[in-house]
Amino acid sequence: MKENVYKKTEYYLYNFKRIDEIIEEIRESIIDSVNISGSAWLKGKSFNSNTLENQAIKLADSKKINNLNKAKVVINHYLKIFKERNPKRYNFIKLKYFEKATPLEIKKILKYDEKQQNDIAEMVVSFFYKQFKKAGIGGM
C-alpha cells in the first residue's frame, strides 16, 4: 500500500471521534469565505460571484465533507462487527486509534508485543483501506 494512502486511512481512524468537529470546521471555513452583503442574497451576474447560493453549492459539493461522512459510516459499521466477532481486535483499534494509547499501554492491556501491534495495525489499516475504497471515498 502506498504511504500516502496508508496515512489517509490512518487519518480517518485517528480522527474518528472528531469527524463531526472536523466537518463543522470545514463548513465554517466555507461559510466564512463568503462575503455576505445585501446583494449576496441574489445570484450575481458573474459566475464566480460571492453569493449565498454559491456558498450552499460549495457546502453541498465539498469532497472533504462527503469523504468524512462516508468514512464515519464505514468505521461505525465495522466497529460493531469487530466488537461482536473479534473483541480483542476491537479493543486494539479503540486503544490505538481512538484513545491514542502508547505501545506500552497496549502491551499491558492486550498483551501484544510491538511486532504484534505493528502487524495488527497493518491488517487494520489494510482492511479499512479496502472498505473505504469500496465506499468510494476519494483518494483511495
Does the pTM exceed 0.75?
yes
The whole-number pLDDT of residue 69 equals: 95
Q: Compute how many other C-beta atoms are within 10 angstroms of the C-beta atom of residue 111.
A: 9
Residues making up the chain, counted from first to last: 140
- Position 60 scores a pLDDT of 67
Per residue in 28-50, pLDDT (tens digit) is 887 776 555 545 445 444 455 55
Residue 118 confidence (pLDDT): 97
pLDDT for the residue numbered 41: 47
Residue 31's nearest CA partner among 48, 49, 56 is: 56
Task: Give the integer Cα–Cα distance in Å for 56 and 40.
Answer: 12
Going from N- to C-terminal start, the domains of the chain cover 3-134
Residues of the chain with pLDDT under 70: 33-61
Residue 29: the pLDDT is 82
pLDDT at 13: 97
> What pLDDT shows up at residue 36?
53
DSSP at 38: G
